[in-house]
Structure 1
């Protein structure tokens, strides 16, 4: 993994938008690293250990061990490889989200397969980064995901947009959308266009905390796990158009 490089401040539906230091003046983001390649895992753990605002609370060599460790350590963010023995990263993602819904999942993998990306997003992952990302990009991804944002490697974002475009259906049911208030729909449309919480707050002339509350209520009403799932929903229900 490169030590230096751009911070990858993505744009569009899956970029971090405005980036902020994680939990300034507060507790560090607690991270669990799960990867079956020992040299990569330990190297990543060491590099993250010197990053500001990040504390690595454990590491595991497979999905099953990672799930158990996530339950016992309750990390803020889990970095998961996709392809692992005993229990895959996708299976671990499902298990961890079921046991600890507030824990954020970032897939960190060599897999650039659309199917892996889609399954990760569908099962609650908030980020999907490739292993050729720099340590700065991974650290920044951890920070923004901990804040409730979503992040995908730019090369994968285009693939996910293409996947979303195929989801439009003529017989859509607007029933679920009727559960949302007009303001929640406004927030959903802006989130789907890639705006950060800060940008949404500025656009709607409300506070950032109010935006966070709307996002949380929106996800709860629609039974979704992440902002990226909200994007999928918005596109499928034709609440937003991706050009």
Structure 2
């Protein structure tokens, strides 16, 4: 499997350099560039079209969530992982709803952060343990805590199309042909549906989407 083309968006120069060095030393990843603010990041993803984007949320000229949302639209095959000091519920759930594939806190070295990215290869979503525990607690609550919805059903047009087709019995390769994309892109949309709907299977995703009224 070819290495993932990896780009970084981080305004702290020292951490950016350390993160870039860790990526370059990690088998399975190929460093293609870094940016320090939102405009540079937008140009970077347009120029390099990365397959993995590491994004800090606190940027000098905007919020990292806006970049995640833009990259999710423009690069449907791209995995996006937040790397941030922010660990509050609003930042966590907001980033996942925007399309992030994972969320890692800057609690260890850059090399330790990059090491956690390897779960992406197996279809996983890298998540710092403290955030994973909080997410599990939130999912176990009934009803959910005020201000933290049980799920965020703001599915994109493409994600809705994939779920609708899957609910009608189409296979991923058939859906890919219908949409004019690759099966890998369809699988990426499905993973985003899982995260937003907070489920772990296609059957659960379809059932949840129907319950919420977003597909018929």
How far off is 1:78 after superposition? Answer: 0.5
**Aligned residue in 2 for 1:122:** 97
**CA-to-partner distance for each residue in 1:53-86, whole Å, 9 max, x for gaps?**
2211000001231122012101110000011121
CA RMSD of aligned residues (A): 3.4
Aligned residues: 177
* Aligned partner of 1:56 among 31, 40, 61: 31
* Aligned partner of 1:90 among 65, 68, 89: 65
**Aligned residue in 2 for 1:16:** none
Answer yes or no: is 1:138 the counterpart of 2:113. Answer: yes
How far off is 1:181 after superposition? Answer: 6.5
When the two structures are superposed, what TM-score results if normalisation uses the length of structure 1?
Answer: 0.61
Contact 1:129 1:153 in 2 (8 A): yes
* Aligned partner of 1:71 among 28, 36, 46: 46
| Unaligned 5+ runs, structure 2 | 152-162, 172-182, 211-216
How far off is 1:219 after superposition? Answer: 4.2
Higher RCO structure, 1 or 2 (CA under 8 Å, sep 6+): 1
Contact 1:48 1:55 in 2 (8 A): yes
**Aligned residue in 2 for 1:110:** 85
* Aligned partner of 2:9 among 29, 34, 37: 34
Choose between structure 1 and 2: higher helix proportion: 2
Range moving further from structure 2, 65-74 or 140-149: 140-149
How far off is 1:146 after superposition? Answer: 4.8
**Aligned residue in 2 for 1:43:** 18
Range moving further from structure 2, 101-110 or 44-53: 44-53
Task: Tell me: CA distance 1:102–1:146, structure 2 relative to 1, closer, same or farther (3 Å).
Answer: farther
Contact 1:76 1:146 in 2 (8 A): no
How far off is 1:41 after superposition? Answer: 0.3
Task: Tell me: CA distance 1:232–1:62, structure 2 relative to 1, closer, same or farther (3 Å).
Answer: farther
When the two structures are superposed, what TM-score results if normalisation uses the length of structure 2?
Answer: 0.68
Contact 1:125 1:226 in 2 (8 A): no
**Aligned residue in 2 for 1:231:** 198
Contact 1:78 1:106 in 2 (8 A): yes
Distance 2:54 2:127 in 1: 13
